[in-house]
Amino acid sequence: MSMSLTALRQQLFSVVDQVIATGIPVEIKRNGHIIKIVLDDKKSKLANLVEHDCIVGDPEELVDLSVQEWDAKNNI
């Protein structure tokens, strides 16, 4: 959708609500330049995680793994 700055001024809140609802950017033309109102989708912080292969061996062996108590006298 493309509109002039004057038309945008008259309908600013409805145009912004429309961009939020549909995700379709709106172009505004002013003095030969085009400016866009675009919805900025924020990614989840978890989306930046990279998967790593960090288990050496068979992961099924970890199911029956027993963890012993720490005893400072015997373990040092």
CB 24 within 8 Å of CB 1: yes
pLDDT at residue 23 in the model:
85
| Per-residue pLDDT reduced to its tens digit, 4-63 | 888 888 999 999 999 888 888 999 998 989 999 998 877 777 877 888 878 888 888 888
Q: Report residue 76's pLDDT band, with 50, 70 and 90 as the boundaries.
A: low
Q: Report residue 75's pLDDT band, with 50, 70 and 90 as the boundaries.
A: low
User: Cα separations (Å) of 33 from 2, 3, 27, 37?
Assistant: 12, 12, 10, 13
What do you get for the CA distance between the two ends of the chain, in Å?
A: 71
Structural domain boundaries in the chain: 1-39
- The whole-angstrom separation of Cα 21 and Cα 3 is 18
pTM, 2 dp = 0.51
38: CB partners within 8 A, 6+ apart: 19, 25
Domain 1-39: give its CATH code.
3.40.1620
2: CB partners within 8 A, 6+ apart: 26, 27, 28, 29, 34
